[in-house]
Structure 1
């Protein structure tokens, strides 16, 4: 899951290196290795910016466009979050990656009994359009794109983003929003699901269909291999399962009569970076080729730009440790290096204190500066795909490609990704792998510096972001005032219209936008769907 296994003799000589994806690394590589794997320059590598995009999406890589930086940001009330947004933008951040608190993610208002103790704790608390009006005040939404890290109620948040953009005077056809909107990985990994799989996938289809027609610069889904990896997947499985999930969402929209070329170019991904440097670089080089080939051969996509593996290559939460937390600064720098060498389009680093909680301003700024130093000082913008042609990297990339296809084929043979998630097969497999990794860590078979090797007894003090109970009290007061002062008739009317649309199988997005404009709350809209769709029943994985 994380670092490689090193098999050594009694003199500490390395006898074998086994990467998490199961690939054995040789002591040296040469032309014979490329010949053995059937390497073909044009077929496997090609020119940067050309199919199969192994080397990069752009002909000159970072020479023409440095990566977008989007540090994960959001906590407390929208006011605190807005201040942090502006702080990061003032220091050179070029996009937003919005964190929501757990009640918002679960479609619960701040005054719900189940929200107690969680309001604003791990992200921004959002109850209604009024909160977005505060959070995005003073931010140029034509220039700064926003990632909305939310899934079960992503349709609600995308509708709210459109409503706030228009209220603040921005053109909905020019704003760029990227809701994560990946419910299948939530069932695999994080558990922030609400509705059964079929209607949940339907809601994702609604957001994609709506974006085609109304918000053309929106990336309506960001398939999140990141959390699949954090749940115990190998790097090859992370890519394979994410691609299969993306295929499931494509199939949903194709069933509605659309051609893949009409919308797949707006698909994006969120992938993880931690662990072995070489495996991470090979993972993304191979991943670009696999995704492009998948779209070209399975879905007959013709537009070359629509074949791009676009998204956020970020890292790497599970690579961080509570022990000797300042070591995470160094880890983060190497994760960022891997992202740059792999040709990441957009990146964000987990800050060193995120092993404990959400980052302090100092920690978040250190992560941003790490990314900026790589672009401005170290030379990562000098040439595209600097590791291209390495016997080792090209062999490893080809092997990683084969591993990704193998993992995809294994799931397809078992009935496909939706069925394997529904019956718990994927969850069982990853839970077992995560358990085995932790056992190997405890036994010292896998090395983690400061955890099971080179351990110091002295504890390091870390300044932590502190949760403020007053945030919850303030949000609940504001929510109650909203419910008291708003015009109730449009609230009732729009919620009834939403309920009918959901029950009749209409696209719910226009109705959600109307609800947001009427200042319906997140909980009220989510409850409409609960009433129509029911809730997901998690399969047993034991």
Structure 2
């Protein structure tokens, strides 16, 4: 739990932030976690220009797939563009967003929908930043993407290849980007959590290995391999090690990473790449006709498209048209008992006490002043990030900082 700067300082104790790059899968409170990371760097004496890493910071896909939002779309987009502007000036080596198709695919989307909806989110963020007065070549090089790797190995390879080609065209033709780095689709890939099964969990090691291979063959720059037991709980240390070894075997033994785009020229992969690109561009055209991604999300159209696919996939599994090994075919009578990771009530209580101790020891007047300044900035048009950094350094908690902005921006309720 990262409830205050004290927790972030504990996490990075003994880790020099000028020597590492850190990725944080955080969205609605991304501004707060980034501010904490910057504050830790300041305490370590690290120049902000040396800080490297990524915040996910992709709020649109929260309304689409994950539902861990706080504020309505408009102020959420304002915070994101404030982060773009702040980081371009203060933390230029930090990737300010990881535009995520992963969760869209987890919710049920097809490969083509994953590409289209992810890039449409990217278009929306670029347009919002330009509308806020930012130059595309100033912030676009720090945009990054986050995709899913599913079971159909060759389709996934084609998906990654199509996404790279499409983003290059979008940035060059739609936004007149000039820097090569502005047109490059940098992406991280995670193997598909939704494909993991609670039945015969050892099968998940095989699934993860094939998915990771697809990501490498498709050109990913960064990779997350899931633990075999993530259908049951947080992974155990042993499962994490197996997931790590999967990557290391791919890197050092398989030869898959020895050349760029190793399946280029394959008739099937090339034709499938063309097919997915064409289908995804058709979806993008449909989104444009609906007024852009934000309006398509607010109307519920995107969510409905994904839900239709998810329903059909579930029907196929239940009727046996789609085989899931160990679930609807090749079952065994009983599985061996698995060790699973658990968080005890005692550990939860310890964290509550830790947060209370921070509140008891901090300068409450400084906290109140910092939160008041943040609210004033949110009510106006100042960039909120410097005020969030100040609040973090006063040891305001994540919840207190978000509540200060919630008082100004309101809270989003789906369908209300």
Normalising by structure 2, we get a TM-score of: 0.98
1:166, CA displacement in angstroms? 1.3
Counting only pairs closer than 5 Å after superposition, residues 73-472 of structure 1 correspond to structure 2 as 125-472=1-348
Equivalent pair of 2:373/2:387 in contact (CA under 8 Å): yes
1:155, CA displacement in angstroms? 0.7
Equivalent pair of 2:16/2:44 in contact (CA under 8 Å): no
Partner Cα distance (2:66, 2:410) in 1: 20
Residue aligned with 1:446, SS: coil
Instruction: Tell me what 1:504 maps to.
Output: 380
Normalising by structure 1, we get a TM-score of: 0.76
Unaligned runs of 5+ in 2: none
Partner Cα distance (1:337, 1:329) in 2: 12
Residue aligned with 2:253, SS: helix
User: What does the per-residue CA deviation read over 1:311-357, in whole Å, with 9 as the maximum and x for residues that have no partner?
Assistant: 21111111111111110001111011101111110000111111111
Residue aligned with 2:54, SS: strand
User: What does the per-residue CA deviation read over 1:125-176, in whole Å, with 9 as the maximum and x for residues that have no partner?
Assistant: 1111000000111113222211111111111111111001111232211111
Equivalent pair of 1:359/1:465 in contact (CA under 8 Å): yes
Residue aligned with 1:263, SS: helix
1:506, CA displacement in angstroms? 1.1
Partner Cα distance (1:253, 1:146) in 2: 24
1:280, CA displacement in angstroms? 0.1
Equivalent pair of 1:187/1:421 in contact (CA under 8 Å): yes
Partner Cα distance (1:362, 1:171) in 2: 37
Instruction: Tell me what 1:23 maps to.
Output: none
Partner Cα distance (2:242, 2:415) in 1: 41
Partner Cα distance (2:187, 2:214) in 1: 15
User: What does the per-residue CA deviation read over 1:351-404, in whole Å, with 9 as the maximum and x for residues that have no partner?
Assistant: 111111111111111111101111101112322221111111111111111111
Residue aligned with 1:355, SS: coil
1:460, CA displacement in angstroms? 2.8
Partner Cα distance (1:341, 1:369) in 2: 18
1:410, CA displacement in angstroms? 1.5
1:279, CA displacement in angstroms? 0.4
1:427, CA displacement in angstroms? 1.1
Unaligned runs of 5+ in 1: 1-124
Higher helix share: 2
Instruction: Tell me what 2:368 maps to.
Output: 492
Residue aligned with 2:50, SS: coil
Residue aligned with 2:340, SS: coil
Partner Cα distance (1:305, 1:476) in 2: 44
Partner Cα distance (2:304, 2:278) in 1: 23
Deviates more, 1:423-432 or 1:504-513: 423-432
Count of residues in correspondence between the two structures: 416
Residue aligned with 1:347, SS: strand
Residue aligned with 1:132, SS: helix
Residue aligned with 1:378, SS: coil
Equivalent pair of 1:423/1:539 in contact (CA under 8 Å): no
Equivalent pair of 1:226/1:272 in contact (CA under 8 Å): yes
